[in-house]
Structures are given as structure tokens and as C-alpha cells.
Structure 1
Amino acid sequence: MKVYNMIKLTDAEFLEFVQYMHKNYGIDLSKKRQLIEGRLSNMVERKGMKSFSEYIKSIKRNDQQEISLLINKLTTNYTYFYREENHFKYLREVILPYEEQTNKLKTINIWSAGCSSGEEPYTLAMIINDYFQLKRMSWKVQILATDISQNVLDKAKEGIYAEESIKNLPQSYKNRFFKKTSDNKYEVTPEIKSQITFKTFNLMDPIVARNKYTVIFCRNVMIYFNAATKIELVNKFYEATQTCGHLMIGHAETIQRGQSKYKYICPAIYKKE
């Protein structure tokens, strides 16, 4: 068995890599030198490369599959159904009743930004279906789920999860919205799958929203951004949010008051008034 020696980053390579990832993907790796070496070194050598300089050149050719693999290596796509459940409780108990009472067009437009392997957007679809019950067909609900990584989007579209991933869901959701597979996993039903549109999207790109969003979920994504990049993104989200719409962020994330027009509602929940 071949033993790989860890390829070390030179100072110049580290600076070039950090600048490239920040400029193109908003990811702040300025304090992550050990992480870069630890997660990428063996992969670089397996590709037959002798240095990070060679690898950086290959990345700059803009091979989307290679870039997707890189981002997967550097970010942690750890998620599960019903993660940070107070967001889902707020959606069900505050946002949906408000929309039901005031939304004469009966349209709900939700964006799961940084959806990873799909647990979040599928949870949103299940909650909306459960809330409206038989009235669901009279509502036009659009759920857009985006991620920069095609790898995790492929898994999301498949919609198959281990039992551990769905353990926090209500039993009624498990019974109604999943079917058990032959290898004891759980697959999201076609009814729920059909309600999600999955797309690759880089949050550093301009956000074009013909129909503004009722809610934007961007949870545990901005932890990878520096302060300036984060507030720039939050302000883009604000412009894409409808009046009385909401932004949900991760509980490890904050938006400094005065740097955004969103009104603080409670930890990790903001509103456009």
C-alpha cells in the first residue's frame, strides 16, 4: 500500500489559495492553514501533483466538479432533519398563520440557501404540507434549494437518508413523508420531492429574485465568511426578501445591529418590515 507524505503549503501558496477562495466563494480560510493542509494534502498527492501550486492552477481552470470536491473537503456538510427546530416552530406557529390570514394570492416562496444534502428544504415542504393539510392544493408553494456543491445536491435530489438523520422528526412525518428502502434507509416520497427545486448557486453571485422570498433560510453557512462578506450577503438577502418576510440564520451566527435593515426578532430570526 502506498504511503502518502503530507505536502506542505508554502507561505506564497497559502496566501494565493486564501485570496482565491475568498474572492470567488466568500470562504475565509485566513486562519485555516492546518485545515487546508490536513484535508487536501493526500488528495493533491494522489492526483500526482508535487505541490499546492500545481493544484491551485488546476482549480483556477474552473473545473466545476473539482471545485465542488474542494469545497466539500473544506466545509462541513453536517446536517439532519429538524436541526435548530425553533426555526421550524416559528415557521409553523407565526409565519404560516400570518400568510394564511393575509396572503390573498396564496403564494409562498422560500429559499434554502446552502441546503447541503437536502434535509432542510424537505423539512420545510413537510411542515407546509402538514400545516395546510387538505388546503395545500390551493396554495402555490415554491421552495428553492441551492448549494455551491454539486456533490451534496446530487445526494439531496436522491432524498435517501439513514434512520439516524430522521430521528428528530415527528413520527407522523416519518410515516407520511418517507418510505423505507430495502436496505433499511428512508426515502422522501415523490410528493415531497416534487415540491423542491434544487440548483447550484454561489452566494457571491448577484441574487436575482423575480418573486421575493417569504423566508430565506441561510443557516450555518456564513460561519465560513469574514465580517465584510457576511454583511454584504445579508444586505443582498434583504433586497430579495418580501416586506414582512424573514431571514433565518444559524444559532452560531449573528448579524450586528445597525449593519442591516432587518429587524431582530429573536436569536437567529430576523424580519424585513
Structure 2
Amino acid sequence: MGTYLITGATGGIGGAAAELLRDRGHELILTGRSPERLAAVQARLSGGAHARTQEIRQINADRAAGPAGGGTGTATDARVTTLPLDLAAPRRLEAALAAAGLPARLDGLVYAAGVAHLDTVAETESDEWIEHLSVNLVSAAELTRLLLPALRAARGQIVYVNSTAGLRANPRWGAYAASKWGLRALADSVRAEEPEIRVTSFFPGRTATEMQRRVRAQEGVAYDPSDFASPETMARTVVAALETPHDAEITEIVARPRP
């Protein structure tokens, strides 16, 4: 079994990917901004069908005072670890990971975190640009840099959950699309520079997540989850890429909801 770090684990695609990987018996390091939401995800993955294999324990209570990533420390059970991180503050990630004591080998990084705020370029102020770029791109690059030694040790894989906005920019999506185009460039660069690590760019179309609910509100349109692909469907695509035999590499995947 492998060890996978998932950002955005409290969101739609990230949370669904965590569920699928946990079902397969992998060890997980789940990150998100909210310690409370992470604890809820951990509790869900530690119960039910998983309960027989779990031995819940608390580690290093001294760290609960709060790592530099903006959270309240690291909590773990036998297979699921949670690590609160604020990806809007990429300069703090190195200290947070150092305090967490991550494993020396990492089979995969799934970067599924993201933010999206819609507005025209004329109305988008610098703070919005900075937040989009920090969460959707700079923190992805920084986590990649920090985790490369562990990924190299395991000849692991990175899946960057991008967006179809990373393929085409539409009106009012400028800041989000720019960050996702940058994420695609990051993936291409890492793939070329790290031949022992497989790198996948995943471009999902609109998915029934809380982010999509907020986007529809910004668009002034009612949110109906049946209009979109489910996060579970999109997560299956992520896991399929991770489970591809090592004699092949899935470099790019585009998945769109069917009408």
C-alpha cells in the first residue's frame, strides 16, 4: 500500500479521492484550511468499513499549539493523518511540513485545493489576483518543491487537479484561469525535470461541489447538482491515473459533465 498527501481534502474532488484511496487501504495525509472540517473527514474515514483496521491515537500533543501553516497541529490514526494548512500563505508551508514530520517516502501528491472568484479584469483588484495565484499555483509549486525528495524516494506521482478553465479563459474568469494556466505550466515543467516522477494534469469540467455552488451564486444562476458531474466521478478519474501501471504515464485528462 502507498502513502498519499491530498490537498483540498475537505472539498468535493479531494474528499472523494481520499475516500477512494482509503477504501483501497492506502495511508493518507489530508490537508485543508479548517481543522474542524479535517477532523470530520478523518472521523468518517476512520469509521464504518474502516473501523476494524483503525487504532486511533494522538501524536505529539505539544504540536497542537499550532504549526506555522495556520492550523492547530497534526492529528492521526493508524492510517489517516490530518494537517491543517493555509494555502493562501505559501511562505508558511515549509515550517508547517517540518513540524508535521512527514514520511521520507510519498507515493503520491494530489493537489485538489483551489479558490474561484468571478469578476471582470476591470473589477478584479490585486488582492483577488494574489489569492488566486497563491492558492491555485504558488502553493502547488511550493508543496511540490518541499515534497520532491519523498516523491523521488518512492518514484511517486503528482496529480494536479486543474480545470477546463486551464484550457480556455472565458469572461469574468481571468484570475482563476490565469492561475490554472500557470498550474498546467508547473506540471509540464515538473514532468520534464523529474523523469522518475509521473505527473498528471487533470482538467475537470463543472463538478457538483460547494465551490460550484458559490460560482453559480456569483453567476446569478440557481445551483442544481444534477447539472454537473459528481465529485465521485471526477475522483475516480484521479485514482485511475494513480493506478495506471508504471510502464505508462497519463499526462493529461479532460473530463466534462454530460448534458
TM bucket (normalised to shorter chain) is: 0.3 to 0.5
Greater Cα radius of gyration, structure 1 or 2: 1
Give the TM-score, by structure 1 length: 0.37
